[in-house]
């Protein structure tokens, strides 16, 4: 077979060095090319991490047994011989920037797994990499050198979890400096300075939020294929908002970074909350910053662990569903009824009708409503079965607003219903009843009374003594209120107005341990109506205008871009299949009941939407078994599309 020359650039020879010319044949395998190349460079070093990169095809030649002919490589191929692991600047949710070695040849999914293994973060499938948002800098602002913590020399084992010594992973225990860096990863940061808050990018609209979601990297392709170069800056963030199997004893870094991402989402108004909730978030941040200086995160009380275990068990029941038993049948037969006047509103497009009062009856897992109490002996206007529905709170204590938002499964999607209660007691009873019924349980179940108590204690925590700010027994202990609330409150209130309100809320959380406070912060964050929504601007098939698609852990939401109203909701458990036409970049989804939707993406590639949907379905397949084995093949099947591995 005739020989021909191929030119290969060797990074180790420097940027100004000429390519190395090799005489090869088409039947020579890639491994043989590398051997000849190393011999010709006459450099004595470890080449085990090096591989060939085909620049025109944007492809790594990792199958060293393949011949040049099988790869389709000819004399005009531009090949580069370089390391597969290169330095990368990684911004974490807590604002710290690390410089570490990341794999540029594996799919991003595996690269994230390697990074999480280095940082001792379990459940890496919940995280991913995205390109950072460019910060707008004023001309007067000097560009201070960013402090970067170097982890490029940290050795990393192939084991899924490294051994721990005195609460520090083995690969961080080599020096005092490394131990300090690990402490920065696993300990919550102090509240940011107000000046820093003002400089941060804040999405002003749902379209701005949608543009951010267009920055996620493709999990199926490597960093080099996506234009990421050595020493580029990327963000590591939680992408899928289904946090599984959290164990404070083992998840110090994971829990800390999750708290920091949630805190910045609140401070930068990435997610909406009421004024009372913001004061409670501020009080929890203040308490966490105080306690974190003296108490490690992994030190938790038995009560906190019990609460966590109880929450996980509750989640397991919700996911798996309960089986009918004699005791459950007895509960249904003896379940008490809940009756009262409530106001109801069904949001529909182009309607100006407000809330209308009805007499409601709650029985078993359904609610029925009548025009009046007197007519409740007859047939109801409608009976709604709440089993499997979604229940979300919408409460504003200062405005005496107590709303229950119900998303009820229907063949064409989800029907939205709002119930307005008159006071806290009524709200606690009906909210608890709706939550209990959504899990398929009746009011006779013991969880109903405990749910009422949880809601009442939650409302109590949000209370701020608005009329007696000056009478608070707490004093200003150096709290910087502008560091723990979002910037819009800086304009709305003065410090002397904010401080008493935050300190009043602080009295309700002052006895919590660090772990309990962090878990409580995350619990309240996850209870917000817009929690877990990732937005993408799309154009639905047959429509002439852009709309917003909200992607949640368990459903898709169609939102009117002009007014922000929810038009339709579809649940994943009603989804039969989804497909992507990669030629016209269109996503098509089929739901039960012959419901079909199709859309093209405006602010993000359709691969990102496809990956979100497949990723969330993958998250639902995880069981409570303590195995750390991750089914990578299934993840790539669900998210990889036409170029799945």
Cα diameter, the chain? 98
Taking residues 280-304, report their average pLDDT. Answer: 75
Single pTM value for the model: 0.80
Whether the Cβ atoms of residue 263 and residue 520 lie closer than 8 Å to each other: no
pLDDT at 161: 62
Whether the Cβ atoms of residue 86 and residue 11 lie closer than 8 Å to each other: no
Of 219, 297, 304, the residue nearest 254 (C-alpha): 297
Among 213-222, 270-279, 401-410, the range scoring the smallest mean pLDDT is 401-410
d(CA 515, CA 188): 11
Q: What is the pLDDT of residues 48-68, one digit of tens each?
A: 999 999 999 999 999 999 999
b/e map of 241-258 (b: 16 or more CB within 10 Å)? bbbebbbbeebbbbbbbb
pLDDT at 470: 42
pLDDT at 415: 79
The pair of structure tokens assigned to 315 is: 């989640």
List helix spans (H) across 334-420. Answer: none
Whether the Cβ atoms of residue 551 and residue 536 lie closer than 8 Å to each other: yes
Beta strands in 398-554 (DSSP E): 401-410, 413-421, 534-540, 547-551
Instruction: Inform me whether the pLDDT recorded for 204 exceeds 80.
Output: yes
The dihedral through the CA atoms of 569, 571, 577, 578 has a sign that is positive
Taking residues 358-380, report their average pLDDT. Answer: 90
pLDDT higher at 198 or 633: 633
Please state the separation of Cα 593 from the chain's center in Å: 30
Confidence of residue 156 (pLDDT cuts 50, 70, 90): low
Confidence of residue 297 (pLDDT cuts 50, 70, 90): low
Q: Which long-range contacts (CB under 8 A, 24 or more apart) does 616-622 make?
A: 616/240, 616/242, 616/551, 616/553, 616/554, 616/572, 617/572, 618/125, 619/125, 619/126, 619/240, 619/242, 619/244, 619/553, 620/242, 620/319, 620/572, 622/244
The pair of structure tokens assigned to 419 is: 């119930």
The pair of structure tokens assigned to 263 is: 């805190």
Instruction: Inform me whether the pLDDT recorded for 586 exceeds 70.
Output: yes
pLDDT at 300: 42
Of 446, 492, 518, 79, the residue nearest 290 (C-alpha): 518
Confidence of residue 266 (pLDDT cuts 50, 70, 90): very high
Of 34, 74, 68, the residue nearest 56 (C-alpha): 74
Instruction: Inform me whether the pLDDT recorded for 642 exceeds 90.
Output: no
Instruction: Inform me whether the pLDDT recorded for 307 exceeds 60.
Output: no
Taking residues 133-141, report their average pLDDT. Answer: 57
**Residue written as token pair 């992973």:** 169
The pair of structure tokens assigned to 100 is: 């570490």
Query: 360 in helix, strand or coil?
Result: strand
d(CA 481, CA 499): 6
Of 571, 564, 561, the residue nearest 613 (C-alpha): 571
d(CA 515, CA 248): 7
pLDDT at 472: 42
Instruction: Inform me whether the pLDDT recorded for 409 exceeds 80.
Output: no
Of 70, 40, 65, 71, the residue nearest 53 (C-alpha): 71
Whether the Cβ atoms of residue 322 and residue 440 lie closer than 8 Å to each other: yes
Whether the Cβ atoms of residue 331 and residue 342 lie closer than 8 Å to each other: no
Q: What are phi and psi of 169, to 5 degrees?
A: -60, 150
d(CA 336, CA 363): 7
Burial of 591 (0-12, 13-18, 19+ CB in 10 A): buried
Instruction: Inform me whether the pLDDT recorded for 400 exceeds 90.
Output: no
Q: What is the pLDDT of residues 79-128, one digit of tens each?
A: 999 999 999 999 999 999 999 999 999 999 999 999 999 999 999 999 99
pLDDT at 352: 54
Residue 230 backbone class (left: φ over 0; alpha: ψ -120 to 50; beta: rest)? beta
d(CA 490, CA 479): 14
pLDDT at 198: 79
Q: What is the pLDDT of residues 30-44, one digit of tens each?
A: 999 999 999 998 888
Query: 243 in helix, strand or coil?
Result: coil
Instruction: Inform me whether the pLDDT recorded for 476 exceeds 60.
Output: no
Instruction: Inform me whether the pLDDT recorded for 426 exceeds 90.
Output: yes
Among 184-193, 411-420, 446-455, 572-581, the range scoring the smallest mean pLDDT is 411-420
pLDDT at 538: 95
How many other CB atoms sit within 10 Å of the CB of residue 369? 20
**Residue written as token pair 């929690």:** 531
Whether the Cβ atoms of residue 98 and residue 118 lie closer than 8 Å to each other: no
pLDDT at 137: 53
Instruction: Inform me whether the pLDDT recorded for 201 exceeds 50.
Output: yes
The pair of structure tokens assigned to 454 is: 């949880």
Measuring CA to CA, how many Å separate 184 from each of 129, 213, 610?
Answer: 20, 27, 35
Half-sphere exposure at residue 338, Cβ-oriented, CA atoms within 13 angstroms: 23
Of 518, 524, 514, 641, the residue nearest 585 (C-alpha): 641
Instruction: Inform me whether the pLDDT recorded for 638 exceeds 60.
Output: yes
Q: What are phi and psi of 170, to 5 degrees?
A: -55, -40
Q: What is the pLDDT of residues 317-332, one digit of tens each?
A: 444 444 444 444 444 4
Q: What value does the mean pLDDT of the chain take?
A: 84
Taking residues 394-419, report their average pLDDT. Answer: 81
Confidence of residue 533 (pLDDT cuts 50, 70, 90): very high
Instruction: Inform me whether the pLDDT recorded for 143 exceeds 80.
Output: no
Percent over 70 (pLDDT), the chain: 85
Burial of 470 (0-12, 13-18, 19+ CB in 10 A): exposed
């Amino acid at each position: 077979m005739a020989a021909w020359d191929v030119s290969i650039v060797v990074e180790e020879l420097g940027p100004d060095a000429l390519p190395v010319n090799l005489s090869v044949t088409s039947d020579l395998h890639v491994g043989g090319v590398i051997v000849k190349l190393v011999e010709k460079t006459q450099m004595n070093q470890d080449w085990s991490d090096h591989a060939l990169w085909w620049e025109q095809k944007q492809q790594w030649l990792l199958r060293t047994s393949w011949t040049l002919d099988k790869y389709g490589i000819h004399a005009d191929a531009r090949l580069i011989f370089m390391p597969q692991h290169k330095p990368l600047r990684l911004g974490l949710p807590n604002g710290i920037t690390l410089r570490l070695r990341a794999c540029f040849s594996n799919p991003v999914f595996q690269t994230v797994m390697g990074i999480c293994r280095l940082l001792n973060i379990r459940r890496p499938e919940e995280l991913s990499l995205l390109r950072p948002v460019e910060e707008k800098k004023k001309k007067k602002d000097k560009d201070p050198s960013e402090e970067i913590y170097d982890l490029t020399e940290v050795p990393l084992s192939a084991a899924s979890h490294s051994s721990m010594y005195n609460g520090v992973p083995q690969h961080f225990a080599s020096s005092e400096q490394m131990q300090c860096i690990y402490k920065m990863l696993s300990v919550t940061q102090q509240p940011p300075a107000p000046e820093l808050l003002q400089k941060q990018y804040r999405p002003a609209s749902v379209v701005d939020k949608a543009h951010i979601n267009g920055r996620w990297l493709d999990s199926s392709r490597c960093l080099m294929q996506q234009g990421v170069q050595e020493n580029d800056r990327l963000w590591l963030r939680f992408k899928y908002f289904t946090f599984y199997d959290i164990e404070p004893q083992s998840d110090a870094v994971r829990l800390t970074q999750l708290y920091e991402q949630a805190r910045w989402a609140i401070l930068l108004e990435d997610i909406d909350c009421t004024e009372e909730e913001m004061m409670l978030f501020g009080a929890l941040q203040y308490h966490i910053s105080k306690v974190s200086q003296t108490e490690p995160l992994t030190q938790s009380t038995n009560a906190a662990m019990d609460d966590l275990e109880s929450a996980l068990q509750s989640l397991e029941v919700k996911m798996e569903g309960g089986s009918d038993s004699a005791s459950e049948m007895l509960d249904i037969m003896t379940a008490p009824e809940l009756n009262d006047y409530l106001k109801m509103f069904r949001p529909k497009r182009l309607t100006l009708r407000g809330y209308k009062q009805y007499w409601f009856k709650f029985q078993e897992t359904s609610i029925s409503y009548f025009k009046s109490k007197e007519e409740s002996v007859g047939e109801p206007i409608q009976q709604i079965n709440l089993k499997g529905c979604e229940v979300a709170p919408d409460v504003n204590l200062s405005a005496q607003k107590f709303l229950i938002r119900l998303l009820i499964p229907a063949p064409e999607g989800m029907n939205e219903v709002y119930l307005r209660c008159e006071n806290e007691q009524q709200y606690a009873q009906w909210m608890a009843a709706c939550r209990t019924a959504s899990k398929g349980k009746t009011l006779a179940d013991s969880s109903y009374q405990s749910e009422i108590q949880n809601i009442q204690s939650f409302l109590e925590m949000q209370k701020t003594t608005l009329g007696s700010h000056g009478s608070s027994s707490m004093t200003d202990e150096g709290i910087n209120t502008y560091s723990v609330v979002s910037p819009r409150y800086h304009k709305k209130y003065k410090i002397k107005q904010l401080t008493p309100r935050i300190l009043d809320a602080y009295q309700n959380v002052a006895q919590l341990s660090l772990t309990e406070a962090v878990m409580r912060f995350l619990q309240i964050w996850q209870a917000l109506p817009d929690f877990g929504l990732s937005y993408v601007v799309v154009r639905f098939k047959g429509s002439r205008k852009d709309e917003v698609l909200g992607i949640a852990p368990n459903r898709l939401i169609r939102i009117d871009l002009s007014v922000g109203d929810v038009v339709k909701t579809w649940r994943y458990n009603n989804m039969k299949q989804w497909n992507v036409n990669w030629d016209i970049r269109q996503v098509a989804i089929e739901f039960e009941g012959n419901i079909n939707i199709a859309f093209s993406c405006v602010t993000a590639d359709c691969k990102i939407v496809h990956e979100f949907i497949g990723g969330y379905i993958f998250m639902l397949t995880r069981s409570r078994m303590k195995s750390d084995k991750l089914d990578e093949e299934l993840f790539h099947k669900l998210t990889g599309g036409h170029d799945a591995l």
